[in-house]
Amino acid sequence: MMLSPSLLSVSGPQGIRTRCAEARAVVRANDPVNGEYRLLTLDAPAEVLGCRPGQFFQLLCPEPEHEHPFLRRPMSIYGYDAEARQLQFLYKVAGAGTRGLATLRPGDGLNVLGPLGQGFSMPQHWQNLLLVARGVGLATLAPLARMAQQEGRRLTAICSARRPELAMSVELFRGYGAEVIVVHDEDGSSTPDALRGLIEARIAAGQVDAVYTCGSARLLRLLQELGARHGIPGEIAMEQQMACGLGMCQACVRPFRQGAEIVQRRVCRDGPVFPISEAIA
């Protein structure tokens, strides 16, 4: 049984107000997807399912044995379905909070707060999209791939990993109609030099109108370089430590370029999605 959600309204950039909710979701499944990551699927009320790709939730993680995570944990949305009333998160067990998440079993309750932040945009003239991400950054881009399919855009996804078997979301992206290219560290195909040639060939063929990425500093620098050289815009979902997730605590402030100036912005409220050209690795 789900508790009635508590609705919140918060101000984002330029005073834009967005609605989120605190609610109790119920665990449907919490299964390993490979040797490092788990997929958490929740039954969630409609009030928290008005999501956009790139947004995130603050999860109140259960306490694992002998550990007491105090703050909520920010988690990018991996999947959402308002019709099926489901919400998904892909996570790596790395600390007390995620160790707590790993203890959840079907039927358990989980307090969630969201959706939060500013998501990805997809202007009409961006018809040929390139997604480039590594590791759990691919989780953040999964809802974007679904949006691209719904909007009838041509999509290429470059999935990077340490080893081929750790490349995530490959079949999911293919299911959304994307051409998927897997690169990895073992054969050197994931290095910036190798990716530069791969991406520039697609730009030269007129197959890239915009690029999207998440997290990785080296991918950000590469895409900034190529974007500046070829006039290709794009967006990045920034990774940053957060406390409140609502913009009040200022814990997630980091610098961005705005023309010739450096400005300070809150990743949780002004982002986490920003123009690639403004981000500082």
**117-131 pLDDT, tens digit each:** 999 999 999 999 999
Q: What is the pLDDT of residue 15?
A: 46
Q: State the residue for tokens 């340490």.
A: 162
Q: Return the C-alpha torsion angle 157, 158, 161, 163, nearest 10.
A: 100
**181-217 pLDDT, tens digit each:** 999 999 999 999 999 999 999 999 999 999 999 988 9
Rounded to whole angstroms, the Cα distance separating 101 from 92 reads 10
**218-252 pLDDT, tens digit each:** 999 999 999 999 999 999 999 888 999 999 999 99
Residue type, 255: P
Rounded to whole angstroms, the Cα distance separating 156 from 143 reads 14
Longest dimension (CA), the chain: 56
Please say if the pLDDT value at position 3 is more than 50: no
Q: pLDDT band for 2, please (50, 70, 90 cuts).
A: very low
Q: What is the pLDDT of residue 11?
A: 52
Alpha carbon of 180 to those of 121, 174, 175: distances in Å? 21, 6, 10
**98-116 pLDDT, tens digit each:** 999 999 999 999 999 999 9
Q: pLDDT band for 9, please (50, 70, 90 cuts).
A: low
CATH number of 128-278: 3.40.50.80
Rounded to whole angstroms, the Cα distance separating 119 from 269 reads 10
CATH 2.40.30.10 spans which residues of the chain?
6-116
Residue type, 226: L
Beta bridge pairs of residue 29: 41
Do the Cβ atoms of 113 and 47 come closer than 8 Å?
no
Domain 6-116 class in CATH: mainly beta
Please say if the pLDDT value at position 135 is more than 70: yes
Could you tell me the sign of the dihedral formed by the alpha carbons of 134, 136, 137, 141, in that order? positive
Structure letter (DSSP) for residue 55: -
Mean pLDDT of 90-105: 93
With 0-12 / 13-18 / 19 or more C-beta atoms within 10 angstroms meaning exposed / middle / buried, residue 270 is buried
Q: What is the pLDDT of residue 115?
A: 97
Predicted TM-score (pTM) of the model is 0.90
Mean pLDDT of 258-281: 95
**42-85 pLDDT, tens digit each:** 999 999 999 999 999 999 999 888 888 888 999 999 999 999 99
Please say if the pLDDT value at position 7 is more than 60: no
Rounded to whole angstroms, the Cα distance separating 114 from 11 reads 14
Do the Cβ atoms of 97 and 61 come closer than 8 Å?
yes
Rounded to whole angstroms, the Cα distance separating 244 from 74 reads 9
Residue 7 sits at φ, ψ, to 5 deg, of -85, 140
Alpha carbon of 64 to those of 56, 87, 102, 104: distances in Å? 23, 23, 9, 10
For the chain, the straight-line distance linking the first and the last C-alpha, in angstroms and rounded, comes to: 44
Do the Cβ atoms of 172 and 150 come closer than 8 Å?
no
**137-177 pLDDT, tens digit each:** 888 999 999 999 999 999 999 999 888 888 878 899 999 99
CATH 3.40.50.80 spans which residues of the chain?
128-278
- For residue 222 the two structure tokens come to 């590469």
